[in-house]
A and B are shown apart, each in its own frame.
Chain A
Amino acid sequence: MEQIIDSLSQFWQFTGFANCTWQHIAMIAIGLIFITLGIVKEWEPMLLVPIGFGIIIGNIPMFPGLNIGVYEDGSVLNTLYQGVRQGWYPPLIFLGIGAMTDFSALISQPRLMLIGAAAQMGIFGAYLLALAFGFAPNEAGAIGIIGGADGPTAIFLSSKLAPDLMGAIAVCAYSYMALVPVIQKPIMLLLTTKKERLIRMPAPRIVSQKEKIIFPIVGFICTAFIVPSGLPLLGMLFFGNLLKESGVTRRLANTAGGPLIDVVTTLIGLTVGASTQADKFLTGNSLKIFALGLVSFIIATTCGVLFVKIWNLFLRPERKINPLIGNAGVSAVPDSARVSEVVGREADPNNHLLMHAMAPNVAGVIGSAVAAGILLGFLG
């Protein structure tokens, strides 16, 4: 009998109940909130649901040494986590993004590309603030990239510059991407007048197939020569787009933009979530990162909108740009472009800004990859 009790007692020590702390409970609650937001509110469900469940997986209290945790060498989760840790999931996601994205809006209105550059100010504004908050330059760079509103880029850069902050940065980036409509709309309304919101832009021209094929080749060579450190992201993005537009590799493009990106998104979400173990996530630094992430989104949106307003001062009336597409300079595709459309139609139901906003939106993807390459080059 005594032996049975001893065995049961020993078993009890292995259970999650015996090893549970309030931090575990708090993290599991956060995971549940993510899942709820993803399913009920449908905010970025393909990201929030895997991340939320990953958070729960990573925070099941357990006896260390069983070789099952995400940080234990050789465990299953650890093996899957290497895609995040070594930074090869994000370029695969970029391959899929390239294979899914139609860059026609950007090719037809290349001037709107500069809005995508202006919105990257969010990255560098957050970098400066993070330094002021006492973060080291490499950590500040990893935190700053949250302002690019690009989850894979944030994971890629933080895995290189500040691996110990990666969980908090990734969760922060995806959380704010899900909240883009909530964050951006009030800023856009605050910074624009009723008259500006009514500006109608000339319709974009139709883009030929040849232009679409030339776009990824020229784009890649140009950006990679300027920022070679952004090669993994830029290369995969433009390669994916070439697969799509070439017209002769449809199967490859379908795979990259379909099953491949789905698999990688699932794994990246799950493992990033699992990496947010309570002892590494519930720290003062995480709170600072969330605050800085919010500020970076605000700076990015503000700079995008203000850049258009200032630019309009120098444009002829028929060439003026609706400043409501300034927010779309961040690379949250297509969420921020949708915000431009929604806010634009509130001012004028017949004014469709979606296609115009897609131009700075996809430029933002390129811009944030370039910015990540620059930060990696300086701080890596």
Chain B
Amino acid sequence: MRKLFLLLAFPFLCGTIGAQNLSDLIISEALPVNTSSLIDDYGEHSPWLEIFNTSQGTVNFAGCFFTDDPTNLTKSQIPKGDLATKLGPRQSAVIYANGDASKGTFYLNFELRKGNTVYLVSNDGRTIIDSLAVPLVIDENVSIAKFSHDNKGLIFNDIYPAAPSPLSENGRRSQKSNAQSIQETDPHGWTLTVVSVMVVFFALFILFLLYNLSGNIFTGKFKEKSKTRSSSDEETTAAAIALALARYESSDDTEAAIALALHLYLSDRVHDMEPGYITIRSNPDSAWRNKSLSFRKKT
């Protein structure tokens, strides 16, 4: 009878003992780049990770270790003697991985970084209980979280980027970022490079064509080529200039200079628009650096 009782009780005992094992703990979520999520006890946005007790019993994780180095499993230990290290059934706790373990029980002496894998190690310092790999590409304020799809919520096989949900059920799954997609489709970056270079050249080439076109228009090259430049306005202006110059006694050079200045002004090839002044240049195509060849005359 006693044997029968023991046999019947054994699975329950095992289940109870097993449920209170450290092996029921998982690293359920991690946030490597925290700029707007949880604030720690010191008012800082520190990287954090969440551990979750999957069992129906209480688990005390005091003395357990966390590490991001598989060759050094005892890198950062959770101190003993703090009652807050007891996790009730289906409860979770947040550990700040900011590199400064002196700040308290729930602070680790290494910083959680993208691309690293973080391990939860039993208090024997040898047995790895659980691990979570943080992707190299993950946006800021997006966590990497474990999700369970079994009815009892015991097996957490699915790992996705997610909206941070510290101390609560893991949030909704995040969409893949562009950078993540690029890393999968173009890990070495050649496609993006070739496309980007082509776009840069294309954009500036279009600008080149447009400005070349506008330059030709403004300098009158099109008009000169088509030889249709005989507008009545310009002829009238030229006649008016000639009449005006004929009334005054002046040298040929002065007349030529004034005529040239007026021509440039009327054909909109002068550099500046300054009321009260006409810029007179002896050679508009080469005088930009030769100040001795330029002078101004007040009108």
Question: Which residues of chain A have a CB within 8 Å of any CB of chain B?
Answer: 64-65, 67, 71-73, 104, 106-108, 110-111, 113-114, 116-118, 120-121, 124, 127-128, 131-132, 134, 136-138, 140-141, 161, 163-164, 203-211, 214-215, 218-219, 222-223, 226-227, 247, 279, 352, 355, 363, 366-367, 370-371, 374-375, 378-380
Contacts and interface: CB of A to CB of B under 8 A. Distances in A.
Given A113-B207, A367-B204, A64 B44 contact: yes
B39 interface: yes
B189 A114 contact: no
Contacts of A138: 137, 139, 177-179
A163 B200 CA distance: 25
A378 B189 contact: no
Contacts of A161: 179
Interface string B3-41: 000000000000000000000000000000101000100
B205 A226 contact: no
A73 B39 contact: yes
B203 A114 contact: no
B277 interface: no
Contacts of A107: 211, 214-215
Contacts, number: 169
B189 A140 contact: yes
12 contacts: A113-B211, A114-B208, A127-B193, A161-B179, A203-B287, A205-B219, A207-B271, A208-B218, A219-B207, A226-B199, A378-B182, A379-B179
B200 A117 contact: yes
A117 B215 contact: no
Q: Point out which of A64, A138, A222, A355 has the most chain B C-beta atoms below 10 A from its C-beta.
A: A138
Interface in B181-229: 182-183, 186-190, 192-193, 195-197, 199-208, 210-212, 214-215, 218-219
B179 A137 contact: yes
A211 B210 CA distance: 11
A108 B196 contact: no
Contacts of B39: 73
A108 B45 contact: no
B192 A208 contact: no
Given A117-B205, A137-B182, A370-B203, 6 more contacts: A111-B208, A117-B203, A206-B284, A206-B287, A367-B203, A379-B179
B218 A211 contact: yes
Contact of A208 (B33, B208, B271): B271
Interface string B257-299: 0000000000011111100000001001111110000000000
Contacts of A128: 188-190, 193
Contact of A127 (B192, B281, B286): B192
A113 B200 CA distance: 11
Contacts of B207: 110, 113, 218-219, 222-223, 366
Given A64-B42, A206-B288, A110 B182 contact: no
A208 B270 contact: yes
A378 B178 contact: yes
Contacts of A222: 203, 206-207, 210
Which among B42, B199, B204, B272 has the highest number of chain A CB atoms within 10 Å?
Answer: B204
Contacts of B63: none
Nearest to B281: A206
A206 B201 contact: no
B204 A204 contact: no
A104 B270 CA distance: 13
B24 to A, nearest CB: 34
A210 B214 CA distance: 10
A8 B292 CA distance: 74
A279 B99 contact: yes
Nearest to A123: B196
Contacts of B202: 226
Contacts of A71: 44-45
B275 to A, nearest CB: 10
A370 B44 contact: no
B212 A110 contact: yes
B271 A65 contact: no
B43 interface: yes
Contacts of B190: 128
B194 to A, nearest CB: 9
Given A136-B114, A210-B218, A379 B42 contact: no
A114 B202 CA distance: 9
B136 interface: yes
B140 interface: yes
A308 B68 CA distance: 50
B43 A209 contact: no
Contacts of A379: 178-179, 182
A374 to B, nearest CB: 5
A114 B204 contact: yes
A214 B289 contact: no
Contacts of B210: 110, 218, 222
Contacts of A114: 201, 204-205, 208
Given A370-B199, A379-B178, A379-B182, A117 B272 contact: no
Contacts of B188: 128, 131-132
Contact of B285 (A72, A141, A205, A374): A205
B206 A208 contact: no
B196 to A, nearest CB: 5
A279 B35 CA distance: 15
Contact of B288 (A113, A203, A214, A370): A203
Contacts of B204: 113-114, 116-117, 363, 366-367, 370
